[in-house]
Amino acid sequence: MAQADLTEALEDELFALREQLGAEAFPKSALDYLNDWAHIEKGWLRKFYAQGSDEPQFDLTPATEKAIVWLGTLTARSFVGTESRLLTLFDLLKQMSEGTETDPQARITELHKRRDELDAEIARVVAGNIPLLDDTALKDRFQQFMALARELLTDFREVEHNFRGLDRRVRERIALWEGAKGALLEDIMGERDAIADTDQGRSFRAFWDFLMSSSRQEELSALLDRVLSLPPVAELKPDARTRRVHYDWLEAGEHTQRTVAQLSQQLRRFLDDQAWLENRRIMDILHGIEAKALALRDAPPAGEVM
């Protein structure tokens, strides 16, 4: 959030608290509190400047978000579903088992079994027997969807945090580096590859490729609209932002991609600066040779000059 918007929201909250607890309950201004929470000793918020903007922005740190999510788990829930989680666990085990099966015949047998199940389901629907999820099952699955959607945003924040930490370390090394640029580049790129090639980095790339598909985005939008219009789901009073949660994923992913791009720009700037300094040194040497040659032109010394 932009500093002005967050400061205004916090001022309103502080005003309400002072009305309840007394004027001395929170003596500092909203901006003072925000800057205090963004101080390195606390690290509850991150204060930064977005690309192309001179207004400070505030964001949660990954640790703060984890703490808030944990606090959310302490509140009493009107409904606790277990069926959908069991089905998800069962499905994950099947994916791992089938995905690592090397025997072609076993894979074919499993595919035939799945096809038979689909044929049987098609036959039931054609006969007019259409099984529907009841209200409880719908609520169960929707709650699990929301929990996973929030976790996904938290994961994005952590991936971005890791790349941002690498970017900061790169800037520090470049500022203090005095050796050959090849050694520094090898060191930095090795560390960047180490992050990108972790399970976290590879999973992020796969997710990003999946979500960048316009057809997937349209499909997600249509599915969300349909699910949110179902009466049992509407009873749960889902957050209004749920309808655009996939765009929140995209925005969070873009933040991560932008951090990686900044890292690349920083390396490019370092190379350009180094190349400019080396070229300048070469030109100084050449100018020195030219000046000495001109000085000797009218009265060249005897013997070998160069």
Is a pLDDT exceeding 80 seen at residue 135? yes
Percent of the chain that is helix, strand, coil (3-state, to 5): 75, 5, 20
Cα(236)–Cα(56) distance, integer angstroms: 36
| Higher per-residue pLDDT: 253 or 287 | 287
**Which tens digit of pLDDT belongs to each residue from 74-88?**
876 665 667 777 777
Cβ neighbour number for residue 287 with a 10 Å cutoff: 10
What is the number of residues in the chain? 306
Least confident of 34-38, 97-101, 273-277, 285-289: 273-277
Q: Is 230 left (phi over 0), alpha (psi -120 to 50) or beta?
A: beta
Tokens read off for 95: 């994916």
**Location of structure tokens 């909203």:** 30
Q: Which residue has the tokens 């009873």?
A: 235
What CA–CA distance (Å, rounded) separates 89 from 95?
10
Is 234 a residue whose pLDDT tops 90? no
Of 155-169, 230-244, 282-296, which one has max mean pLDDT?
A: 282-296
Cα of 75 vs its chain's centroid, Å? 27
Q: Is the pLDDT of residue 195 over 70?
A: no
**Which range (32-36, 159-163, 199-203, 252-256) has the least confidence?**
199-203
Backbone angles phi, psi at 57, to 5 degrees: -115, 155
Ranges of each domain in the chain: 1-60, 134-294
Instruction: Of 163, 172, 134, 192, give the one whose Cα is nearest residue 62.
Output: 163
Q: For Cα atoms 154, 159, 165, give the angle at the middle one, nearest 5 degrees.
A: 125
Name residue, tokens 């099984």. Answer: 131
Instruction: Give the model confidence (pLDDT) of 16-67 as tens digits.
Output: 999 999 888 899 999 999 999 999 888 899 998 877 888 999 999 988 988 9
Pick the CATH number of 134-294 from 2.60.40, 3.30.2010, 1.20.58, 1.10.540: 1.20.58
End-to-end CA distance of the chain: 67
- For residue 162, the model assigns a pLDDT of 78
Q: How far apart are alpha carbons 297 and 304 in whole angstroms?
A: 14
Mean pLDDT of the chain: 82
